[in-house]
Copies of this chain bind each other. A is one copy, B any other.
């Protein structure tokens, strides 16, 4: 192999400073003391030579990548900005790097997720980023993981960070029924088997049950937590010959709410007079939609931050087992019928 590497290595630094490579390495990693004089000299030489340690070489020797991975299903939702922001802040403070990758286990192209044990020290797995089998495999090898917006399969007990979905949804749907007299509430669910989606659906059904309203399968649509898909689903539903009566929509999340508003406007419904609309997440734009969106405030940035912190706890061998569930809160605005 030709020696074409022009980059300056730890040996160059060592030679220039008149010490061994081991000393340089120790100085860089600050794990073993180095005499003040040598330290001084090394600092000098390193800046003079513009030495930058070679990450791959470090990784190989130390068996640490100083990288954590975030595995997402997709990047189709404004929701990810606060989530990423929370994660990135922690990662940066720890002087780690963050690899962001999308992968959906159930998608056709069954390429394995591009991140894992060999190029990351740990993984943040969002929602359905991995199927249970993958989780089990990784977990069996003791690979550090924290689940985000999903909980661990019972047999695995991987730490997780989620938000409270069910009770708050029930409360909000009951509000719709009780305060605004709604009885035919469309439920636009997220991805099938997605945990947030399922738990919100449970909350929805509990509310109906509590108020003695029978559940109607015709009032359930698939919105996938995506603006465009939500629009399509509702537009389809409304354009359909057999019009099913409804007087409210639980939109799944705020991003889907945008699609819902678009479809309702398009078909001439007044909100909230004809149809009440509620979302979930309280993204930044929610107060400024037309009408302002009643929604559930989820502490998304905190979710990201806490998930990352727990992952680092794991890396540092403190084992923060268990599931964190962050509280949520209803924000009443006009789209549900309230006059705020």
Residues of A within 8 A of B (CB): 5-7, 52-60, 63, 65, 67, 74-78, 80-81, 84-85, 88, 92, 95, 97-102, 114-119, 141, 227, 255, 258, 261-262, 283-285, 287-292
Q: List 30 A-B contacts (CB under 8 A).
A: A6-B141, A52-B116, A53-B118, A54-B60, A56-B56, A56-B59, A56-B65, A56-B118, A60-B60, A75-B81, A75-B85, A76-B81, A76-B85, A78-B81, A78-B283, A78-B285, A80-B81, A81-B81, A88-B100, A88-B102, A92-B101, A92-B102, A95-B114, A97-B99, A97-B115, A97-B119, A98-B100, A258-B285, A262-B288, A290-B290
CB nearest to A55 among chain B residues: B119
Partner of A289, one of B88, B95, B290: B290
**Known contacts A56-B58, A84-B100; can you find 15 more A-B pairs with CB under 8 A?**
A54-B60, A54-B118, A55-B59, A75-B85, A75-B88, A76-B85, A88-B102, A97-B101, A97-B115, A227-B284, A255-B284, A258-B288, A288-B289, A288-B290, A289-B290
Return the chain B residue nearest A54 by Cβ.
Answer: B118
Closest Cβ–Cβ distance, residue A300 to chain B (whole Å): 12
From A85, A100, A283, A289, residue with most partner B Cβ within 10 Å? A100
Neighbour of A63 across the interface among B5, B81, B84, B289, CB < 8 A: B5
Taking CB atoms, residues of chain B closer than 8 Å to A53 are 118
